[in-house]
Amino acid sequence: MIILVIGLLLFVGIHLLREFRLRDTAIGRLGNGPYRLVYSLTALTGLGLIIWGKSISPFVMVYQPIYEMRGITHFAMLPAFILVAAGNLPVSHLRRHLAHPMLLGTIVWGASHLWANGDLASIILFGTILSWAIIKFGTLVVAKPMSDNPASVIWDIVAVIVGFCIWALILIYHGQLFGIGLTLG
């Protein structure tokens, strides 16, 4: 489980540089281009270690999720994917009024996965990412208010379509991608 924890520390740590007031110092010392390279490599390394670490972590049950309630997670992921899509598109009404829809989608993702997974590695993974997203959302909402840019309903439609397609693909291929198949029944 140490590899999972190291990956989470790298991934979350690099994503919290602004909150630790280290981002501007790092950019000042490295320059913008090298900073972005180090940031990207650190985040990707962390992500790789998270995936590897989770896949080799022992299964230690901490609590037993309610089997019959697992469908809540499946359906909660639809708005999560729509929010993540909206956060990565030009200004839609979702992005304009929610300020940081990608982080909100990450919060839904983390919380819904904690609901469905009671093993220690899952609690560490989803709990850490959920905590990071809540901290990041809170600090960014204070630092950066909602956008004044004009919103387009077209981007809302695109976010819903993209989010739905990703949700459907993940639902179908979850077993092949993550080792745990899903059923809606």
Tens of pLDDT, residue by residue over 92-111, are: 889 888 889 999 999 999 99
Please identify every stretch of the chain with a pLDDT value under 50, giving residue numbers as ranges.
none
Residues 94 and 4 occupy one common structural domain: no
Nearest to 139 by CA among 19, 11, 17: 19
Residues 27 and 71 occupy one common structural domain: no
Euclidean distance between CA atoms 35 and 75, whole angstroms: 38
- Which domain, by its residues, includes 6? 1-57
Q: Helical H runs in the chain?
A: 2-15, 23-30, 32-56, 71-87, 93-98, 101-116, 120-143, 153-178
Residues 49 and 119 occupy one common structural domain: no
pTM summary value: 0.89
Residues 105 and 137 occupy one common structural domain: yes
pLDDT at 23: 95
Residues 153 and 170 occupy one common structural domain: yes
pLDDT at 112: 95
Residues 65 and 53 occupy one common structural domain: no
Residues 73 and 52 occupy one common structural domain: no
Residues 53 and 111 occupy one common structural domain: no
Residues 101 and 174 occupy one common structural domain: yes
Please identify, among 42, 57, 72, the residue that sits at the C-terminal boundary of a domain.
57
- Number of domains composing the chain: 2
Residues 79 and 165 occupy one common structural domain: yes
Residues 150 and 89 occupy one common structural domain: yes
pLDDT at 180: 77
Four-point Cα dihedral 95, 100, 104, 106, nearest 10 = 110
